[in-house]
Structure 1
Amino acid sequence: MQLTWYDSNSWLIEMAGKRILLDPWLVGDLIFGNLSWLIKGTKKTNFPIPENIDLILLSQGLEDHAHPETLKILDRNIPVVASPNAEKVVKGLGYTQITSLAHHQTYTFANRLQIKAVPGSPIGPQLVENGYILKDLETGQNLYYEPHGYHSPSIKQDAPIDVLLTPVVGITFLGLIPFLKGQKKALELCQWVQPQYILQSAAGNDTDFEGVLTSILQPEGTIEAFRQLLTQNNLSTQVLQLKPGEPFTPELKQRNVISV
């Protein structure tokens, strides 16, 4: 398994012999609904578009996960696995091979990689987007991704999970309303699935944000504080924030899982 973080929610996941581009925002600015005055993200570094992508995986239909400018420059023939909401985005852009996954549905790609959709972030009162569990069917190594820190208790049945990609440092509106759930939920998640690694996803240092919302967004916790929480709770999980654009290969130990 090799992982490359491109800041924000964007990852290149290499596992099961496949290259999966997850929630890519790689070019242009990030603007929600053409409301640049509300919030606008600009990348400090322009990363090259990864080559030889086997699959695009989209957790949500919002612009910070299904980024229109990025999706427009990728090959429309690349297979896509998406939440039902993200399916609408890629279908409108002309992608030809789309698999939509509802919660708890699974899809096996190339007979080597299993993708399971799990309940993720609520977007409005009636829409809950996707998180994903990816599993290499040959080695048994697995990975979980949820970009806003909303973790369904249903993932306990997939424990243990080797690697988590999710927020460790949260973000709130005025310190009151969570935008990204952080320390408390990340600790609970680690207690559920006993990961070997948890890698900070979502907000990073390689993006500049401007607009009205930036004045009321506040960070919640730090990575070092989260490390201390893990130690206090007798968890050996390694917590890291990767440098954007630099590949990382986790040193995963073989687990002996006993079914009860």
Structure 2
Amino acid sequence: MQLTWYDSNSWLIEMAGKRILLDPWLVGPLVFGNLGWLIKGVKKTTYPIPENIDLILLSQGLEDHAHPETLKLIDRNIPVVASPNAAKVVKALGYTQVTTLDHHQSYTLANSLEIKAVPGSPIGPQLIENGYILKELETGYSLYYEPHGYHSPSLKQDAPIDVVLTPVVGITFFGVIPFLKGQKKALELCQWLQPQYILQTAAGNDTSFEGLLTSILQPEGTLEAFRPLLTENNLSTQVLELKPGEPFTPQLQQRAVTIA
């Protein structure tokens, strides 16, 4: 397994010999619904589109996960696995091989990597987007991704999971209303899944935001404050924030198999 973070929620995941581009925002600004005055994200670094992509994986249809400007630069013939909302976005852009996954449905890539959709972030009162569990069928190594810190209790049945990509540092409106859930939910998730690594996702140091909303967004917690919480709860999970653009290979240990 090798992971490359491109800041925000954009990742290149290499598992089972396949290259999966997850929620790519690599070029241009991030604007929601042409409302740049409300909030606009700019990356200090423009990242090239990775080569030899086997699959694009999209968790949400919003612009920070299905970024139109980036998706327009990618070969439309690359297969896409997406939430129902994200599938609408890529189909409108002309992608030709789109598989929609509802919660608890699975897709198998080249008989070597299983991708399972799980309930993720609520977007409005009636829409819950996707999180994903990726599992190498030969080794059993697994990865879980949810970009806003909303974790379904149904995940417990998939434990343990080796690597988790989710917010550790949260973001709130006015310091009260969570936008990205952080420390408390990340700790609960680690208790459920017993991961070997938890890696911070969502906006990092390479992204700056401007607009009206930025004045009411406040960070919640730090990685440094989270580490002792793991120790206090007898968890050996390593927590990291990667440097954008630099590949990382987690040193994973095979799990002991318990026979009932």
TM-score by length of 1: 0.99
Q: Secondary structure at the match of 2:57?
A: strand
How far is the alpha carbon of 1:257 from its aligned partner? 2.9
Q: Secondary structure at the match of 1:73?
A: coil
How far is the alpha carbon of 1:245 from its aligned partner? 0.2
Task: Tell me which residue corresponds to 2:113.
Answer: 113
How far is the alpha carbon of 1:9 from its aligned partner? 0.3
How far is the alpha carbon of 1:258 from its aligned partner? 2.0
Task: Tell me which residue corresponds to 1:68.
Answer: 68
Q: Secondary structure at the match of 2:118?
A: strand
Q: Secondary structure at the match of 1:225?
A: helix
- Is 1:199 aligned with 2:199? yes
The alignment's C-alpha RMSD in Å is 0.6
What is the alpha-carbon distance in structure 1 between the residues aligned to residue 137 and residue 11 of structure 2? 21
Instruction: Give the unaligned 5+ runs of structure 2.
Output: none
What is the alpha-carbon distance in structure 2 between the residues aligned to residue 88 and residue 257 of structure 1? 41
Q: Secondary structure at the match of 2:7?
A: coil
How far is the alpha carbon of 1:87 from its aligned partner? 0.3
- Is 1:188 aligned with 2:160? no
How far is the alpha carbon of 1:71 from its aligned partner? 0.3
What is the alpha-carbon distance in structure 2 between the residues aligned to residue 227 and residue 97 of structure 1? 42
What is the alpha-carbon distance in structure 2 between the residues aligned to residue 229 and residue 83 of structure 1? 33
How far is the alpha carbon of 1:205 from its aligned partner? 0.5
How far is the alpha carbon of 1:175 from its aligned partner? 0.6
How far is the alpha carbon of 1:123 from its aligned partner? 0.1
AA aligned opposite 1:207: T
Task: Tell me which residue corresponds to 1:7.
Answer: 7
What is the alpha-carbon distance in structure 2 between the residues aligned to residue 256 and residue 58 of structure 1? 32
What is the alpha-carbon distance in structure 2 between the residues aligned to residue 258 and residue 134 of structure 1? 22
Task: Tell me which residue corresponds to 2:45.
Answer: 45
Aligned pairs (5 A) from 1:1-260:
1-258=1-258, 260=260
What is the alpha-carbon distance in structure 1 between the residues aligned to residue 72 and residue 257 of structure 2? 42
What is the alpha-carbon distance in structure 1 between the residues aligned to residue 44 and residue 259 of structure 2? 47
TM-score by length of 2: 0.99
What is the alpha-carbon distance in structure 2 between the residues aligned to residue 66 and residue 173 of structure 1? 23
What is the alpha-carbon distance in structure 2 between the residues aligned to residue 47 and residue 65 of structure 1? 16
How far is the alpha carbon of 1:259 from its aligned partner? 5.2
Q: How many residues align?
A: 260
What is the alpha-carbon distance in structure 1 between the residues aligned to residue 74 and residue 116 of structure 2? 24
Q: 1:147–1:259: structure 2 CA closer, same or farther, 3 Å change rule?
A: farther
Q: Secondary structure at the match of 1:186?
A: helix
How far is the alpha carbon of 1:46 from its aligned partner? 1.0
